[in-house]
Amino acid sequence: MAGALAIADTRSQFTDLFSVYQWLTVVVAGIVFGLVLFALVRYRRRGNEYPRGKDKHTVAESIYALVLTAIAITLVTLTFRTEDKTDAVAANGGVRVDIVAFQWQWRFGYPDYGKTVLGTTEHVPTMVLPVGTVVRFDGISRDVIHSFWVPAARFKRDEFPKRHTKFDLRFDRVGTYIGRCAEFCGLRHTNMDFYVRVVPRDAFQRWVKS
């Protein structure tokens, strides 16, 4: 489908970037914990002496600060690259889905097919989507701020009252995923769940016509 390649699977984008941050976190934590432990053991108080040593080391500290700056710039660069992909909007979207969030349910509309899915207290709404296709979301809230979150897609976006929120997503794997409201929205926020069911394209066509 046109534009499909421009929109990345947010999950794989997240995983690639997260692994860099995770790796860095583990290494830095390892170094700092090691140094602290080394200091505590090696320099534990033995006698009553006062150690003599330098009070500062400006050259070493300046070099260190430059290294930190380089790390920060690297992280920010990687982040910007990934964000360009996760925030990208396709020139012409594939499937359009309207999201209406309200206390404490979801309504999903398919304007191209005249189909609507409405959640009720007995029935958790299921959004059906075709696999590997760009989906153009247009979300709005009827009351307070909600947030459309699909943990498996590693993506969320807030839904505001009186203002449309637009974003594109693509799901590359068939399956059923839980979705939740992530922004606290009042009494029954806990129960504001939905499902995203990603199906093959022909199955999606059958579903919208049913």
Residue 154 corresponds to which tokens in the numbers above? 């590693």
Q: Which of 23, 111, 161, 176 binds another protein (CB under 8 A)?
A: 161
CB of residue 175 to another protein, shortest distance in Å:
14
Burial of 47 (0-12, 13-18, 19+ CB in 10 A): exposed
Determine contact, residues 159/99, Cβ cutoff 8 Å: yes
Q: What is the DSSP string of 87-131?
A: T---SS-SEEEEEEEETTEEEEEETTTTEEEE--SSS--EEEEET
Give the C-alpha separation, 37 to 31, whole Å: 10
Q: Is the dihedral of CA 150, 156, 162, 167 positive or negative?
A: negative
For residue 131, state whether it binds another protein (rule: CB under 8 A): no
Which is nearer to another protein, 38 or 200 (by Cβ)? 38
Which is nearer to another protein, 55 or 202 (by Cβ)? 55
Entry field: residues in the chain: 210
Residue 185 corresponds to which tokens in the numbers above? 């929205």
Give the C-alpha separation, 84 to 89, whole Å: 10
Q: Which of 96, 154, 197, 201 binds another protein (CB under 8 A)?
A: 154
Which is nearer to another protein, 58 or 210 (by Cβ)? 58
For residue 55, state whether it binds another protein (rule: CB under 8 A): yes
Q: How many residues bind another protein (CB under 8 A)?
A: 80
Give the C-alpha separation, 197 to 204, whole Å: 10
Q: Which of 4, 39, 89, 118 binds another protein (CB under 8 A)?
A: 39
Which is nearer to another protein, 170 or 204 (by Cβ)? 170
For residue 187, state whether it binds another protein (rule: CB under 8 A): yes
Per-residue string for binding with another protein, 72-111, x by CB under 8 A?
Answer: x--xx--xx-xx--xx---------------x--------
For residue 147, state whether it binds another protein (rule: CB under 8 A): yes
For residue 182, state whether it binds another protein (rule: CB under 8 A): yes
For residue 30, state whether it binds another protein (rule: CB under 8 A): no
